[in-house]
Amino acid sequence: MKTERFYVRDVLSLQRRPTSVEIDQTYVEIGVRSFGRGLFHKDPVSGQDLGSKRVFYIKEGDMIFSNVFAWEGAVAIATEQEDGLIGSHRFMTYRVNERLADARYLFHYFTGGDGLSAIRNASPGSAGRNRTLGIKSFAAQSIDLPGLQEQQRIAARLDYCRSLVGQVQSRATDSGALLAALRQQLLADFYARHQASLTPLGSVAAVFRGRGPRYEHGSGSIALNQGCVQWGGIHLSRAREVEVDWESSVPDVGRVAEGDVLVNSTGDGTIGRACVAGRDVVGIPFDSHILSVRVTPGFLLPEFLALMIQSPQVQSVISSVKGANTTKQTELGKKKLEKLQVPVPSVEEQNLELRRLRDLLARASEVENLGKLRDQLAEALSPALLKAAFAGHL
């Protein structure tokens, strides 16, 4: 692809429009996302709240660079929606010389093409806020541009291709939300089918609260905490080391047994989270923020109970019955968990339902994994498109 060399100052001219803030007016500031992901609008603020802050008007067509994050592609073009909004002194507004350059081409060039190197050359420092875009240094950088018509052609192709990538990513996000909702609906239906067999949990299982541990780094002995209890199973990597003497003093009821259903009893966002303990954690103590439910054999299957606890109905009950302890932290008490009503159909029905649900959830998981793969491919496609475009292959 034939190109011609210019200085940045040949194609971009800095235009600042300082404005005097009036205390009785309302203003909306803009921000620029990194990696060419566009502009966003901050919440409206009064002039009184802005105070003495230096702000500048934005006009449609401005090419805007964040002077602290331009080095990672925080560049955008103002549209009609941004016309008349304001930006702080950290956002540099440039006008494009339309005789030499196409604004959309420059956007792609500075967010993923060789233009990003020009920005980084003018942004000295190691990382983050230390890498501030130098105005004079940036203006003196050399950039290679094809003819205007070729720029417009490439920009149109890139806009089209990246819009397709955006659609794919949007669908992947929608699919993820849909699958999460589907899982919840499956669990809700699972619960509802057996509502006639509701039974207080304490009548078919024993509930134990863990002990308050004494921590000691480097002891080699561990105890489970609420961070270990995740919906998908126990995460031992989150366990903390405890004193050897404390660990050896914990009785059997304070240690995990195979098949225990461990339930987090405290913490906003973690309370009520539950999973079945496997052989790999048998004998490990658990702390006082975990309740262990040990089911009565022949009445209730641990996996069935864990899925029932995940259901929207049970989670709603847990949310409504949790109290507050002396530290003002929400707490699911042992007695409240024992009173929790859970479906207890026959073991044969439990096994049948588990097989059905495992199959449905496995299919949903396969779809979810395909969606993640699609999203990863779409993410990798954008830099590949940019590379092809600026090499003259698009």
Instruction: Provide the Cα torsion 295, 299, 303, 305; round to 10°.
Output: -70
Is the model's pLDDT at 162 over the cut of 90? no
CA distance 29 to 19: 13
Q: Is 74 helix (H, G, I), strand (E, B) or coil?
A: coil
| pLDDT per position as a tens digit, 120-149 | 999 987 665 568 999 999 999 999 999 999
If one compares 365 and 89, the residue with the highest pLDDT of the two is 89
Q: CATH for 4-146?
A: 3.90.220.20
- Is residue 366 very low, low, confident or very high in pLDDT (cuts 50, 70, 90)? confident
CA distance 74 to 112: 11
pTM of the model: 0.54
Please state the length of the chain: 394
Is the model's pLDDT at 28 over the cut of 90? yes
Q: What is the pLDDT of residue 326?
A: 42
CA distance 128 to 125: 8
CB neighbourhood size of 234 (10 A): 21
| pLDDT per position as a tens digit, 205-248 | 999 999 999 999 999 999 999 999 998 899 999 999 999 999 99
Is the model's pLDDT at 271 over the cut of 50? yes
What is the SS3 assignment for 321-376? HCEECCCCCEECCHHHHHHCEEECCCHHHHHHHHHHHHHHHHHHHHHHHHHHHHHH
Q: What is the pLDDT of residue 87?
A: 96
Q: How would CATH label the architecture of 195-344?
A: Alpha-Beta Complex (3.90)
- Enter the tokens of residue 297: 């054999």
Average pLDDT over residues 359-369: 73
